[in-house]
Amino acid sequence: MKRKWFGGASLLLAVSLAAAGCGGGSNEQAAPSSSSSPSSPSGGQVEVTLAGWTTSPEEQSLLNQVLQEFETKNPDIKVKYEVIADQYMDVIKTRLIGNEAPDVFYLDAFEAPGLIEKDVLEPLDGYVTDDFDLADFEAPMLDAFKSKDGKIYGFPKDTSTLALFYNKKMFADAGIATPPATWDELMAVSEKLTKKNGGKVEVYGLGQAPELARQLFMIHAFGGKLTDDQGMATFATPEALKGLQLVVDQHLKAQTAGQPSDVGAGWGGEMFGQQKAAMVIEGNWAIPYLQSNFPDLDFGTAEVPTVNGKKGTMSYTVAYVMNKQSKHKEAAWKLLSYLTGKEGMKTWTSKGFALPTRKSVAAELGYDTDPLRAALVAGGPYSIPWQAGTTLPTIMNNFNNQFIAAYTGQSSLEEAMKKAQDTANQEIKAAQ
C-alpha cells in the first residue's frame, strides 16, 4: 500500500494517509514458500531479489500471493523478497552505493527524482512491449517516474488520491442533500455543520491537514507553482497564496475548519471517525481504517470540491524500479512487468487497501463505480503527484514550518510563505 500522509510529513501507513511508519517486524521475510529456502537456486533457476516495506499482515499476504502466482508462471525464476522495516530509503541508498541493492525495489514518487538524477536506475523503455499497454496507466502516476527527457524508470504499482469524506447523518441533520461541489459550497456547508458550545468548537465542518503534502493542489488552483524549472521554491507568489489563503481563512476567520490536534486527534481519519469533523479530505487509506475502527459511522465520499473552477487533488504513488547494476535484468523485468501488469496489479489491489494505477484494473475490480472509491478513482487523471524534483525535502520542511505559523495566526500567510521560500532557496543554493 501507499504511505499515508498526515501530521506533518509522511507517516508510513500508512494508515498513512493517508493514513502511514513502515510496518513489519523482521528485516527480512520470505514471500512465497518457494522463496524462503536458504539454499541457492537449483535447476537453472535465476534468483531475483525484491525489496519493499509492508504496512499490514493483509498487504503482506496479498504480495505473497502475487509472487507465488509469478513463480508458478515463471518456474525458472526464484524471488527472494526482503522487507526493509526501518529507514527504507537510507538502506536502499546505502546498498546502491555499495552495489548490493536488490534487483527490483519499491520507490516512492517523492524520492524518484533523486535516484533518477543519480543514474542508479535502469531505464525501462527498451523492455516494454505492446502487450504491456502503457496507455492503460493513469498519466500523472506514470509521469512521476519519468526523467526530464521522457525516459521511464518505474511503473506505479498502486496509488491513492484525495477525496472529500462526509458524515451522512450530520448532513441529513443539517438538511444538506448533497456534498459540496465547489469551494464556495464547501465553505457554506462547513458553516452549517460546525457546532460550538460556549464559543468553543466541538465539531468542525471541515478537518484540515495544514501541510504541503495535502495542500500542493491548492497552490496550483490559481496558477501558482511550488518550484521553477531549476528546483527553486516559488510558492510565495500571489497566485500560489490565493489557494493557501482559503485554507487559512476558513480556520482563522470563518472558524469552521480545524486541524486534528485542535480536537485531540492524531490525523484526519481519526478526527472524522470520532465525529469531531463533519468532513475531511483524505485518501483511500481512510476507508479501511474507518470501517475497522468506526463500524457504525455512515459516511460517503465525493471528489474534492473545485477551486477557482478547476478540479484538483493529490496522488501518492509508489513504483517498482530496477537496479541499474542488476545482474539479472531480463528476469528482473519479467518480475517487474508482472507486478505492474494487469494480472499482478489486479491481485495486489483486489482488497482495496490501495487503488490500481491501471484504468482497466480499476474498472475490472469495480472501483470506478464503487460508492466509496469511485470519487478517488475519478481524481486520478487530474491529480498532482506528491513530487517536485530533488529539492522537495528542503522545500517541504520550510513550507511546513512556516505554514503552520500562518495557520495558527502567529504570522500573516504572505510573511510566512516569503520567509519559508527565502530560507528554502538559501539552503538549496548552499547545497549546490
What span, in angstroms and rounded, lies between the C-alpha atoms of 309 and 286?
A: 27
- Antiparallel, parallel or unpaired: β 104-108 and 314-322: antiparallel
Q: Give the single-character DSSP code of 228.
A: -
Q: How far is CA 203 from CA 81, 183, 191, 359, in A?
A: 46, 19, 11, 37
Cell readout for 372 is: 466509496
Q: Which residue has the higher pLDDT, 16 or 301?
A: 301
Q: How far is CA 48 from CA 74, 77, 206, in A?
A: 12, 7, 47
pLDDT at 19 > cutoff 50: no
The pLDDT score that the predictor gives to residue 375 is 98
The pLDDT score that the predictor gives to residue 164 is 98
What is this structure's pTM? 0.90
Q: Give the single-character DSSP code of 401.
A: H
Ordered domains of the chain (ranges, CATH): 33-160+315-385 (3.40.190.10), 162-312 (3.40.190.10)
Query: Sorting pLDDT into bands at 50, 70 and 90, what band is 49?
Result: very high
pLDDT at 38 > cutoff 60: no
Q: Which tens digit of pLDDT belongs to each residue from 222-242?
A: 999 999 999 999 999 999 999
What span, in angstroms and rounded, lies between the C-alpha atoms of 11 and 53?
A: 13
What span, in angstroms and rounded, lies between the C-alpha atoms of 171 and 179?
A: 8
The pLDDT score that the predictor gives to residue 43 is 60
Q: Which tens digit of pLDDT belongs to each residue from 55-100?
A: 889 999 999 999 999 999 999 999 999 999 999 999 999 999 999 9
